[in-house]
Amino acid sequence: MARKPGLLLPLLLLLLGPAPARSFGQLPLILNTWPFKNATMAAWKTLAAGGSALDAVESGCATCEQQQCDGSVGFGGSPDESGETTLDAMIMDGTTMNVGAVGDLRRVKNAIGVARKVLEHTTHTLLAGEAATKFAESMGFINEDLSTNVSQALHSDWLARNCQPNYWKNVIPDSSKYCGPYKPPTMVKRDGIAYKDPAHSYSHDTIGMVVIHKMGNIAAGTSTNGIKFKIPGRIGDSPLPGSGAYADDMVGAAAATGDGDILMRFVPSYQAVEYMRRGENPTTACEKVISRIQKYFPKFFGAVICANVTGSYGYYSEMLTYLYTLHFEFNYTVTFRRIQLMGKGSKGGQLEASRRSGDNSADWFMTPKVKTEMRYDRTLCGNG
Ligand SMILES: *[C@@H]1O[C@H](CO)[C@@H](O)[C@H](O)[C@H]1NC(C)=O
Ligand SMILES: *[C@@H]1O[C@H](CO)[C@@H](O)[C@H](O)[C@H]1NC(C)=O
Ligand SMILES: *[C@@H]1O[C@H](CO)[C@@H](O)[C@H](O)[C@H]1NC(C)=O
Ligand SMILES: *[C@@H]1O[C@H](CO)[C@@H](O)[C@H](O)[C@H]1NC(C)=O
């Protein structure tokens, strides 16, 4: 069951002062995939400085683009078959249901920034390829090479390994042994839903971020350089609204990460938000999404993070090792959590996180720096 938008609750919270009831006190919330702590912190600083939820998502994802989080976000990572790095990103405003996104963006580092410009300055949702680069240039972004020594070395190694792994099937020459160019054989043997073991792909990933402002505005976004050695032109789930991320102020938000070619067929972030709209808690919503995918693709790997309007969050993971969250406790202190996940089939959320934080297992911490910022924020935001 969908409840009324979260707007009223934080307002109430402000009116009541610094000792509101426990169930109202989880906002703002920042939640992102992977141990990208600097991204979480950047989003937090943006909120603390008076920025909107959209601003926070943009600065968080942009931080990952600059710092090349895990090599899987930003320039110099995941070269495609031709050796080029291309970027996908999306940002969604859950208040207006406006979305900006770019796919297969070339030679521009700040993909989430370009996505934000699509949102702010066009009535379109998604721009792709060279034309997206032209758009970016017209918006003042620099056109520059995204290759680095690292991405070039990855690509040469791949060529030296006979272009293994790759993402072709049912082609001549045999793509499991040789490089292309490939052609379809005259008689294509149908292989049903045979699924290539994606073990080689575990390294690729994406930042997915959800931010809920203390006033209840919700935004979500993603940024990635896709998968290594993808076929040029491939766009993953990340820039697709409802797949990579989704946000709706009435309900909450979700973001997904993992095998994007499979993920996008199930529109998982939209589906998770819809489960929450029907009354599921965030953990169950995330879990149901993954189990739907696994019915068809038992070897699927991926994860979904979910948060509802009241700031409760959950996750279900077949791959993630860590999550970072940052949110207010009900007494206006900030909790910054590093949640270590337990491998395949990990799920959980707030309750589990609190329990774990209680057992001193070092899965969470609050740095002095965060404490300082928290006080700053209390003065700044706590008074309106
Ligand atoms: C996080 O930011 C700090 C300071 O800006 C930097 O020194 C550090 O390398 C960053 N961490 C990562 C994983 O990029
Ligand atoms: C990249 O490689 C070139 C030559 O192969 C070298 O001159 C340059 O210093 C390298 N750059 C970095 C950042 O390592
Ligand atoms: C959000 O999830 C929490 C935890 O499951 C639940 O207690 C709360 O009622 C949910 N909020 C809404 C608005 O559904
Ligand atoms: C306020 O937050 C701190 C730090 O998270 C916690 O230790 C403390 O118990 C909280 N205060 C109350 C009244 O619960």
The pLDDT tens digits of the residues spanning 345-375 come to: 677 665 444 333 333 333 333 332 333 333 3
Q: Annotation-wise, does 236 bind a ligand? A: yes
What is the rounded distance in angstroms from the CA atom of residue 153 to the CA atom of residue 69? 18
Ligand 1 centroid, distance to 158 Cα (angstroms): 29
Q: Which residue minimizes the CA distance to atom 6 of ligand 3? A: 281
Q: Spell out the residues 6+ positions from residue 357 whose beta carbon is closer than 8 angstroms to its own.
A: 335, 337, 363, 364
Question: Looking at residue 11, what is its pLDDT?
Answer: 24
Q: Which atom of ligand 4 is nearest to the CA of 330?
A: 1
Pocket test for ligand 3, best of 23, 281, 309, 315 (most atoms within 8 A of CB): 281
pLDDT in tens, 219-247: 999 999 999 999 999 999 999 999 999 99
335 is catalytic: no
**Annotated domain spans of the chain:** 22-144+199-382
Distance 164 CA to ligand 2 centre (A): 26
- The CATH homologous superfamily to which domain 22-144+199-382 belongs is (Glycosyl)asparaginase (3.60.20.30)
Report, as an integer, the average pLDDT of 51-70. 96
* Options 33, 40, 63, 206, the catalytic residue: 206
Quote the ligand 3 centre to 163 CA distance (angstroms): 48
Q: How confident is the model at residue 335 (pLDDT cuts 50, 70, 90)?
A: low
Is 235 one of the annotated binding-site residues?
yes
CA dihedral 260, 266, 267, 273 (to 10 degrees): -120
122 is in an annotated binding site: no
Tell which atom from ligand 3 comes closest to the C-alpha of 279.
Answer: 14
Question: Would you say 257 is a known binding-site residue?
Answer: yes
Instruction: Find the mean pLDDT for residues 181-191.
Output: 72
Which is more confidently placed, 200 or 32?
32
Kindly state the percentage of the chain with pLDDT values over 90. Answer: 59
> If you average pLDDT over residues 277-297, what whole number do you get?
94
Residues in the chain: 384
- Tens of pLDDT, residues 133-175: 999 999 999 999 999 999 999 999 999 999 999 999 999 999 9
Using the predicted structure, report yes or no on whether residue 21 has a pLDDT greater than 50: no
Q: Which residues line ligand 4 (CB under 6 A)?
A: 329, 331, 333, 335
Q: Are 273 and 2 in contact (CB under 8 A)?
A: no
Give, for 307, the enclosing helix (H) or strand (E).
strand 302-308
- State which amino acid sits at residue 64: C
379: left (phi over 0), alpha (psi -120 to 50) or beta: alpha
Under a CB-based contact definition with an 8 Å cutoff, are residues 88 and 226 in contact?
yes
Name the average pLDDT for the chain: 79
Residue type at 68? Q
- State the first-to-last Cα distance of the chain, in angstroms, to the nearest integer: 30
pLDDT band at 293, cuts 50/70/90? very high
Q: Are 254 and 92 in contact (CB under 8 A)?
A: no
Single-letter residue type at 119: L
Cis peptide before 28 (omega within 30 of 0): yes
Q: How far is the CA of 139 from the centre of ligand 1 (A)?
A: 28
